[in-house]
Structure 1
């Protein structure tokens, strides 16, 4: 029996055309890396616990490290977690023979629902326009500072410059999108007018496999919901996934949880929930979160300039598997094999070819494509880097002067772009 699997973003979507549900792997597992640059002096320091942040939950921990009760941690975390609603108006694509669109229209969301956006272009309601549809995306997010800065997923607010956020005390606020980064699937939004929001901070160190994890989100638009599980894997590589790899967790995650936090037993954020792996569209015990280290490198740049700068060597790579190593006739080969090269890109100019295997960066060995991508993206465009490589079974090295990853490449998120 053939079972079709799909990776699904966790946004609840409502459209006047068929509702946004599960999407195919190529449309979903396309999350990239973040450039590891110092935190902006203009943004919140995500690695430092400021006064007012969630405190350690030592009073509920048992001797073996497992919490005796999640209730205290959940009570402290929930006020920092928000629902995020974004709306956009899109032109309707017509198919021949279907004069009013490509499928039956759904009822529009409640006109009086919190966060309802303005009318469409020219004051015409998208519901009444035969050539426009209104898309509503509902996800989650969390405050990272008391003055209203919050993190969510890029795909939650990808088509809008504003959003409505719903707090745990049932209040709604308007938020502006400060910046978004499709490659890491992270976005920064800002609520003005208050300086006393509850907030959480990023964990100072990554979790271990088997550590407890608590997630808080807005599944199906129901409001604050808490689930628990463990970290199932780290640095999980998926096609078009982040270069750091995902955290894989088994806490129940559903549509609408996208952008919510995964927390350790200290109440600190270890990841941002982004995707699930599911044959049915619902939770199946396999969920993926963007690591906190990625958040700490991306968010300061989004706050400072609204975009993320990454270096590129103009190549697409994949990890060397035992099968690839056998095919190349090299035993115990580790690294990243070059699959495609950008025409006239930095790698081509340096003399690299398809089939070359990069084994180290600046003298430090790499294990695969994830590590190579992470290191290249973390460097400054215009800098030079020495790469050790294997070509036709022989070792050599080459110096590459790096370019800048174009914005369009970051938006389309190709496989491990270098």
Structure 2
């Protein structure tokens, strides 16, 4: 009897476990998103964009003087192969995606999708093909606005990328490799990503599969609202590798409004070169934790210079917005109206102060100069504590740089190399003391405490940056 009861109890427990297993499976399945309704409601407003660009024929070698090949002769094709067929331009084609933002035919896509295109064709979901006119394009944000002649077109609903959360499900619709209206899904991996060469866009990073042809297409949240414009992928193969980046829709809409109104984008300008505050730099500045945007250079005559901002200031707040990393500052400055005066809170020598800056206009062209080449000269001094070979600059170097400092001739194994100093850099100051010559540099190094890093201001090309170095004790 006891055995039977134990068997019944065992059967009951087994049944209970199986029930829990099935229930847990149902719960997991219930939590997985269903994208079918979202896709049905939004796909009609997503378009395929194809462009054609004419390339003028390259200058071809001439036939020998006096030589004439009769048309239709057996040698004609051979000579065409080697000497070319003159006067016939070639065409290159590219594909991308876009989405309709107004019923009268305004379409958003990427700048690089339509750049230098001679013809832009928009294909709708109902297979209509319309010729598009380029209203305006902005290289810095990689956005473009097109217009087709049509009425009552389906349009997307736009949301806000500001309320988008990391881990949230998102969906991309586009034309990867020309396959129209392909749907891929994933999650938001990060927000506010700064990419090389893209200072004015705080990108949304996702793991949504994006490939060539998806560029310019929309990124939807689960409410069916556009929260981003798919723009770039990180790839070593040319295909998707789990890292894709979208332009936040809040940034895109501001750009689109300016493109629609004036065909170009006008951005605010502060006139500083900035960098992140590392742990070592924070320690050297007496900060409790790394945060803010460290000013490494203030351009002469810029709004920053006129307001009293200085090299070594750490911008911790701009117009009421806390600055956690340096990448947060350029987008905020860029969207500030030209001529507007905004409060900028800085940390200077351990004290917070607020300056008011009248924002200027960012110029169209920004040139980035390369660092000067190494120039080894005999009049050099080896600085053992830093691992550097330095020298006073020549008269030509002084005139070229326009600054007083010490030239780095060689970088040896040691603290300077670990900090990122390069040959050709100009050391402008160590700690709070300017270093106009080698003698001053050596004198200042002797005064430094040996138990913590020191901030060294370096000029590299036309830019400047701070590096944190902890000098080694020398015998």
TM-score (norm 1): 0.69
Q: 1:392 to 1:175 in 2, by over 3 A?
A: same
Task: Give 2:155's match in structure 1, choosing from 180, 196, 199.
Answer: 199
Whether 2:202 is the aligned partner of 1:237: answer: no
Task: Give 1:86's match in structure 2, choosing from 40, 51, 59.
Answer: 51
Higher-helix-fraction structure: 2
Whether 2:355 is the aligned partner of 1:379: answer: no
Q: Which has the larger radius of gyration?
A: 2
Task: Give 1:344's match in structure 2, choosing from 265, 284, 301.
Answer: 301
CA distance in 2, matches of 1:281, 1:403: 39
Report the CA distance between 1:333 and its aligned residue. Answer: 4.1
Whether 2:131 is the aligned partner of 1:174: answer: yes
Q: 1:352 to 1:83 in 2, by over 3 A?
A: same
Q: 1:69 to 1:363 in 2, by over 3 A?
A: closer
CA distance in 1, matches of 2:353, 2:168: 41
Task: Give 2:228's match in structure 1, choosing from 271, 274, 297.
Answer: 271
For residues 7-406 of structure 1, the aligned pairs below 5 Å read: 68-90=33-55, 134-160=91-117, 162-192=119-149, 194-204=150-160, 206-241=163-198, 243=200, 245-362=202-319, 364-406=321-363
Q: 1:342 to 1:164 in 2, by over 3 A?
A: farther
Structure 2 unaligned residues grouped into runs of 5+? 1-26, 63-83, 370-462, 464-475
CA distance in 1, matches of 2:227, 2:367: 24
Report the CA distance between 1:189 and its aligned residue. Answer: 0.3
Q: 1:350 to 1:295 in 2, by over 3 A?
A: same
Q: 1:219 to 1:362 in 2, by over 3 A?
A: closer
Report the CA distance between 1:320 and its aligned residue. Answer: 2.3
Aligned-residue RMSD, C-alpha:
3.2
Q: 1:191 to 1:326 in 2, by over 3 A?
A: same
Quick one: higher RCO (CA 8 Å, sep 6+), 1 or 2?
1
TM-score (norm 2): 0.61
Report the CA distance between 1:251 and its aligned residue. Answer: 1.3
Report the CA distance between 1:370 and its aligned residue. Answer: 3.1
Report the CA distance between 1:128 and its aligned residue. Answer: 5.4
Residues 53 and 118 in structure 2, CA contact (< 8 A), matched pair in contact too: no
Report the CA distance between 1:377 and its aligned residue. Answer: 2.0
Deviation per residue, 1:272-312 (Å, 9 max, x gap):
00001112221011100001111221111111111122111
CA distance in 2, matches of 1:92, 1:399: 55
